[in-house]
């Protein structure tokens, strides 16, 4: 059985240390107030049993709390006081070097809490360690000096979660929708070098990857680009290639005819498109940003974004086809085996021209289905439902990509042009409310629930204003690629970014987690039950109403966001167990449910799940994604296409989760299993028993994106509990 030490590292549970600590406290009280040796052993054994009963490795602090409780339960209050005093003195001694200890444990790769905080960062790599080290210093500064004590306390107790505290000390924002069109068409500046409009598709792709890397190093969330912005450069290359071919024919004194020249031109053009797409795919995978990971990038594939320009749409279709083909192939790992990469994340829009047999671009949809069955991407946006959900003040619906794994901008009309604007906008940051804690704190009383809910929402409100105020006054010089050279704006040097923080240009997100557990505790039923669903929808509406009120008060676009918890799902679970104990069906797992999702263990079919969750997506305008868990579907693409068609008709944004694994020891390419070993969940090859994570390639979808660097115990437990929906 393992425990988590104060510096985050793991250690084996040692009952003798508990006995020794109680004995020390026992020895300094009067003889008549002391515990007997048998009582000390009994307390220690009770603590050990409590640790074994937990679904995750307990922290030293949690264990010491139990020790205190058991000493007092034995009636030895003087011993308990001495034990508490001893803890306090030791805590004071540690205060000066807690951050130092955590940093040292990171360098030695002993910090289990931080090691698997992000499933796309390898914690053994120097650049990742450097980012984590800086993050620990930043978090320490943030919690001690920059945030109000009540926000820090609520964050530490798991009542709310103040996301990305490791970046808060700097004036950085969350995620954005890059205006690649402006940067390519009008030029940009990268590292002080002027980059003019490219003269070919391959050059445009190369510049795009450099922009992606620069943007990723200037913010901490996800970013998105659209292939539509690259499509105009296909025809530029076509014309250039035609001039070259015609010159070659003249040199050779050959007149093959217009049809033959066109064939040669298109063949060479396809090769250039292949190289350009390959540049994006491999550069994104191999680039290492300043935070020690590949850029968290989403590539958007939307045919109707080309409008009525048939040539542009046709060229865009060629790029999309090549992007899907290369993603289906995958990338080679160090053993030379084709595997599933985490990025770029792909989003494919389902629309009238591609959704059914007989439509012009159905061939692309079939290719997307084939890619999904093997590589878990692309995800799918329904143009039909998005036009219905995302309606601007002019009454017009719009279809556009999210900024990260699920973070959506809200509709916005540029007051200067009177037209909708999405590219060049961004999100200021996120604070998440723990809905499970609200429910448990109310003890099931509905009047108390709504009162506590409002108090917690006000905490989130104040925390979000801290994020907003941290960005106020930021000069464009802080990130020139973002604010001066077109990614988000073209402000002057020395100009503050403040005007972009108001009026709906950017968003700021109220996240939420654990709607399922909240609903189940208050109603006794899953929110999928017709009797409980109205309460769940009321909770969602209440958060939307709060955002609407804050927006009116501050002229800032507060928006409700279905938080993609990764490490925080584990943190919230541990905090809930500490505050409320093990409540069956509510806190008895090492994770809580993401956003509005149906619980991962609930038996429900794919179509019912998607239809049910569609009502909650509508009430989560700041971001939401639904998924269905499926087996290997490579031999049943008809079923994949059926799910995709259902998505088009019923829900705005969804994905299919499958598995994509490989064991480097024996070559097994089936599902790598999760097994329990001494109270800890580990990954194991079912063929050869390999448990070395360095020799296992495991890809799983977690919170909307693919992770490949494994996960903490809470998320691993959630993955283990998933049931199939198809």
Report which secondary-structure segment, H or E, holds 10: strand 10-12
- B/e letters for 367-387, b = 16+ CB within 10 Å, e = fewer, are bbbbbbbbbbbbbbbbbbbbb
Closest CA to 363 of 425, 317, 428, 310: 317
Cα separation, 85 vs 71, in Å, equals 14
Q: Indicate which residue of 174, 291, 441, 544 is catalytic.
A: 174
Closest CA to 270 of 280, 259, 262: 262
Cα separation, 206 vs 319, in Å, equals 15
Is 690 tagged catalytic? Answer: no
Q: Indicate which residue of 183, 205, 402, 403 is catalytic.
A: 403
Closest CA to 628 of 650, 603, 652, 655: 655
Is 405 tagged catalytic? Answer: yes
Is 205 tagged catalytic? Answer: no
Q: Indicate which residue of 76, 179, 382, 407 is catalytic.
A: 407
Contact (CB, 8 A) for 637 and 630: no
Q: Indicate which residue of 376, 405, 633, 644 is catalytic.
A: 405
Contact (CB, 8 A) for 365 and 352: no
Closest CA to 401 of 345, 319, 439, 363: 345
Q: Indicate which residue of 175, 376, 518, 547 is catalytic.
A: 175
Which ranges in 353-490 belong to alpha helices (H)? 362-375, 383-389, 435-442, 446-471, 480-483
Is 623 tagged catalytic? Answer: no
Q: Indicate which residue of 276, 486, 511, 704 is catalytic.
A: 704
Contact (CB, 8 A) for 508 and 465: no
DSSP 437-464: HHHHHHTT-HHHHHHHHHHHHHHHHHHH
- B/e letters for 562-578, b = 16+ CB within 10 Å, e = fewer, are bbbbbbbbbbbbbbbbb
Is 704 tagged catalytic? Answer: yes
- Give, in order, the Cα–Cα distances in Å from 66 to each of 11, 138, 575, 703: 18, 32, 14, 33
Is 386 tagged catalytic? Answer: no
Q: Indicate which residue of 321, 351, 566, 655 is catalytic.
A: 566
CA angle 591, 592, 597 (to 5 degrees): 130
Q: Indicate which residue of 105, 237, 427, 626 is catalytic.
A: 427
Is 703 tagged catalytic? Answer: no
For residue 461, which phi and psi values (nearest 5 degrees)?
-55, -50
Is 403 tagged catalytic? Answer: yes
Cα separation, 724 vs 720, in Å, equals 11
Is 685 tagged catalytic? Answer: no
Q: Indicate which residue of 561, 596, 653, 705 is catalytic.
A: 561
Long-range contacts from 529-535, C-beta under 8 angstroms, 24+ separation: 533/615
For the annotated catalytic residues, the residue numbers are 174-175, 403, 405, 407, 427, 561, 566, 704
């Amino acid at each position: 059985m393992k425990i988590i030490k104060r510096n985050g590292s793991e250690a084996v549970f040692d009952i003798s240390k508990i006995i020794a600590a109680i004995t020390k406290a026992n020895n300094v009280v009067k003889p008549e107030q002391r515990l007997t040796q048998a009582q000390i052993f009994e307390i220690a054994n009770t603590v050990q049993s409590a640790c074994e009963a937990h679904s995750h490795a307990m922290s030293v602090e949690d264990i010491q709390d139990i020790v205190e409780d058991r000493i007092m339960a034995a009636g030895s209050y003087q011993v308990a006081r001495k034990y508490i005093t001893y803890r306090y003195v030791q805590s004071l001694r540690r205060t000066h070097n807690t951050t130092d200890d955590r940093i040292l444990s990171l360098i030695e790769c002993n910090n289990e809490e931080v090691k698997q905080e992000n499933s796309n960062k390898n914690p053994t790599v120097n650049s990742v360690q450097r980012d984590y080290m800086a993050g620990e210093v930043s978090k320490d500064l943030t919690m001690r000096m920059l945030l109000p004590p009540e926000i820090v306390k609520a964050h530490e107790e798991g009542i709310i979660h103040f996301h990305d505290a490791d970046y808060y000390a700097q004036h950085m924002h969350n995620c954005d929708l890059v205006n690649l069109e402006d940067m390519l068409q009008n030029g940009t500046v990268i590292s002080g070098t002027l980059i003019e409009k490219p003269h070919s598709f391959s050059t445009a792709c190369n510049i795009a990857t450099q922009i992606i890397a620069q943007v990723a190093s200037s913010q901490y969330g996800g970013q998105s680009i659209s292939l539509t912005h690259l499509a105009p450069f296909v025809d530029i290359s076509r014309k250039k290639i035609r001039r070259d071919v015609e010159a070659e024919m003249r040199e050779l004194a050959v007149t093959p005819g217009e049809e033959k020249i066109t064939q040669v031109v298109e063949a060479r053009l396809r090769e250039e498109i292949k190289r350009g797409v390959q540049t994006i795919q491999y550069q994104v995978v191999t680039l290492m940003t300043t935070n020690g990971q590949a850029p968290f990038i989403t590539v958007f594939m939307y045919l109707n974004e080309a409008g009525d320009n048939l040539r542009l749409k046709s060229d865009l279709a060629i790029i999309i086809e090549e992007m899907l083909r290369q993603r289906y192939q995958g990338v080679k790992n160090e053993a030379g085996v084709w595997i599933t990469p985490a990025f770029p994340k792909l989003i494919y829009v389902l629309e009238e021209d591609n959704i059914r047999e007989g439509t012009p671009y159905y061939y692309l949809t079939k290719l997307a289905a084939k890619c999904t069955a093997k590589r878990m991407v692309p995800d799918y946006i329904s143009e039909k439902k998005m036009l219905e959900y995302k309606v601007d003040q002019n009454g017009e619906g719009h279809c556009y990509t999210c900024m990260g794994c699920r973070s959506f901008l809200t509709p916005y009309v540029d007051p200067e042009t009177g037209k909708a604007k999405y590219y060049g906008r961004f999100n200021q940051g996120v604070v998440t409310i723990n809905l499970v804690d609200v429910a448990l704190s109310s003890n099931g009383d509905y009047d108390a629930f709504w009162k506590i809910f409002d108090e917690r929402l006000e905490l989130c409100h104040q925390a979000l204003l801290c994020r907003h105020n941290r960005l106020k006054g930021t000069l464009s010089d802080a990130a020139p690629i973002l604010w001066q050279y077109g990614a988000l704006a073209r402000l002057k040097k020395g100009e503050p970014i403040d005007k972009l923080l108001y009026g709906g240009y950017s968003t700021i997100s109220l996240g939420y987690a654990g709607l399922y557990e909240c609903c189940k505790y208050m109603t006794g039923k899953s929110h999928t039950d017709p009797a409980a669903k109205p309460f769940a929808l009321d909770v969602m509406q209440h958060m939307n109403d709060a955002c609407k009120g804050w927006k009116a008060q501050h002229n800032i676009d507060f928006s409700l966001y279905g938080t993609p918890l990764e490490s925080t799902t584990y943190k919230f679970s541990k905090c809930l167990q500490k505050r409320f104990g093990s409540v069956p069906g509510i806190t008895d797992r090492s994770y809580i449910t993401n956003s509005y999702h149906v619980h991962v263990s609930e038996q429900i079919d794919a179509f019912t799940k998607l239809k049910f969750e569609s009502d909650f997506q509508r009430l989560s305008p700041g971001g939401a994604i639904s998924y269905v868990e499926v087996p290997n579907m490579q031999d049943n693409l008809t079923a994949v296409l059926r799910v995709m068609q259902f998505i088009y008709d019923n829900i705005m944004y969804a994905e299919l989760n499958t598995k994509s694994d490989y064991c480097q020891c024996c070559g097994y390419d089936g599902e790598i299993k999760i097994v329990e070993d001494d109270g800890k969940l580990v990954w194991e090859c079912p063929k050869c028993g390999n448990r070395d994570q360095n020799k296992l390639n495991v890809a799983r979808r977690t919170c909307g994106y693919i992770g490949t660097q494994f996960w903490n115990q809470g998320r691993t437990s959630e993955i283990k509990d998933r049931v199939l929906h198809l």
